[in-house]
Chain A
Amino acid sequence: MATVELKSIRKTYTSEEIIKGVDLSIESKEFVVFVGPSGCGKSTLLRMIAGLEDISSGDLLIDGRRVNDLAPAERGLAMVFQSYALYPHMNVYQNMEFGLKLAKTPEAERREKIMAVARTLQLENYLKHKPGQLSGGQRQRVAIGRAIVRNPKVFLFDEPLSNLDASLRGQMRVELATLHRRLGATTIYVTHDQIEAMTMADKIVVLQKGIVEQVGSPLELYDCPRNLFVAKFIGSPPMNFLPGTVIAASEEQARVRLASGQEIVVVAGGAQGLIGAAVTLGVRPEHVRLGHAVENRGSGQVELVEYLGSAAHLHVRMQDGALLVIQTEGGVRVHADDAVTFSFPAERCHLFNSEGVALHRRSSGRMAA
């Protein structure tokens, strides 16, 4: 399989810079997900790797070879588009055959490859169907089949599941992950859905406004977001953010006074210089503990309870008016208007300075837990 390397990749349209210098290296067989809000440049970056967009500056290397000036097909990539982009005038077999035909693969070999892929993707009974006669999930499979059959070095996926309904999306997610394990191909996958990113990726690249905000494994991003943007983007429901001021700090800890006057101890390094400075305290809904505690306490009134079955989300209005979401087990006996107390585990809290950059945490909270 293949490695992909991006060196100071930039993209400029007329006068606007869309991709502002991306450096990234993707290992062989890795499943990398580009994630970010719409307009962050993730699709543009993928299309630049594919060769569908020119690279304004920087180098793109596949297997160590510079491919900036190669046509898409010469780069040895295959792409699955969001709209599937099947050839409507060809049946399923012909759709998969097209690339092989252009590559002048002998007919017998073509047939063999297509049949193998059709078996893998359970498309054998649909080979004579036109795309218009297929369901969304089937079309998706054909699009994937068309990519696989060419045996590319790298697979590119551009939001392939966003046109499917929720249940099918979950199913296809599993299928794609399984397929990736079976084929072991280097894969670059673009999505705006952080759940897809978390569940499928070996490595997530979070993008915002053409800049890489953070690169890391799903758990690294979850445990140690580098800044407010990543902290907000990764995790569902999203992290709670509470404004506060640092009142004391040691090498490993900081004491933060929230707007409500409550004092919270946070495991965070390098806060000594920030005494008196405004900071943002971040804590994930699933990390807030319901019930009485000695330290890091807080209290408030429940405004709304969302029961999800396996879990419940409590929307709690704190005394200073800030809204906090707490995730508890599904069987919790709390109702709207109840008063609740809770605590923030010091090692689970995140601290961000006024620029939104996370203060260094001593390894990850996961190891402490």
Chain B
Amino acid sequence: MAGQRARGKSLVIAAVGWVVAIWIFFPIFWMFLTSFKGEAGAIATPPRLFFVPTLESYHEVFQRANYWRVTFNTLGVSIGATVVALLFSIPAAYAMAFLPGKRTRGTLLWMLSTRMLPPVGVLVPIYLIARNTHLLDTVTGLALVDMFTNMPITVWMLYTFFREIPVPILEAGRMDGANRWQEITRVLLPLATPGIASTALLSMILCWNEAFWSLNLTSSNAAPLAAFIASFSSPEGLFFGKLSAASTLAVAPILAFGWISQKQLVRGLTFGAVK
């Protein structure tokens, strides 16, 4: 009886899981299909599920824009912002986790609160700062902004991971003669590698998908993939085929990346919660 009920319960949970997963995945799936339909097929009503695939949209996308360049820009922004964010976040999270002061808690919450602000609220000052420092439309400028907006999250995540490291292990390192630097690099970081990897992954994904600042702070030189997609939506009206092809091209790398690293990512994001 109890076994049957438990089985029934797990079936329901599985079913709900599938519904949610399909619900979330459907737009991506539809975009993928549309990208192979060509412009005429893309706007056909009723939409067709079965059709003869064509690469026509992709051809046009590659002709109209420099896909490799924008991908390269995106990579630069994502990797650059992530690496620099980690360089600052690791010492910050270390201090907060192991040497907390009276204001640590408050500082953490304050950092997080900056994420609650709508970015558009600081668009003008940031735009002006970027312009005056000649960082407009540069990979460096966009990477800097992405880094700052993501740092609250990377610090929080690392803080949570570091808190899971047993303090006596670090103290043992200190007893063994490790100075602060050695304690971090030789003891803490190797132990926290899974956490740091998850944090890096998440930061990469956030930078990759970031659109607001990409659209506002870059134009031709430093345009990342988000701007690349957007460039297919505007002036001459909507061309769903090309838009879908561009979007597919833009999300494919990060999707593949996420797929490969999903185990790490899930473990990282649920760390502490389930353990």
Contact = CB atoms under 8 A, between A and B. Distances in A.
Nearest to A74: B177
Nearest to A14: B102
B6 interface: no
Contact of A85 (B169, B177, B178, B182): B169
Given A87-B187, A89-B190, A89-B191, A79 B169 contact: no
B186 interface: yes
Given A88-B191, A98-B186, A52 B171 contact: yes
A102 B187 CA distance: 12
A154 to B, nearest CB: 12
A71 interface: yes
A87 B172 CA distance: 8
Contacts, number: 57
Interface range on chain A: under 10, 10 to 19, 20 to 34, or 35 or more? 20 to 34
A73 B176 contact: yes
B175 interface: yes
Contacts of B171: 52, 79, 81, 85
A73 B174 contact: yes
Interface residues of B, number: 17
B182 to A, nearest CB: 6
Nearest to B171: A52
Interface in B147-190: 166, 168-169, 171-179, 182, 186-187, 190
Contact of A102 (B166, B168, B169, B177): B177
Nearest to A102: B177
Interface string A16-47: 00000000000000000000000000000000
Nearest to A79: B175
Interface in A99-148: 99, 102-103, 146
Interface string A138-177: 0000000010001000000000000000000000000000
B175 A102 contact: no
A47 to B, nearest CB: 8
Contact of A103 (B173, B177, B190): B177
A81 B179 CA distance: 19
A77 B175 contact: yes
B87 to A, nearest CB: 22
A303 to B, nearest CB: 44
Interface of A: 50-52, 71-73, 77-79, 81-83, 85-89, 98-99, 102-103, 146, 150
7 contacts: A71-B174, A78-B175, A79-B175, A83-B166, A85-B168, A87-B172, A98-B186
Interface of B: 166, 168-169, 171-179, 182, 186-187, 190-191
Given A79-B175, A85-B172, A150-B176, 9 more contacts: A72-B175, A73-B174, A73-B175, A85-B168, A87-B169, A89-B191, A98-B186, A102-B177, A146-B176
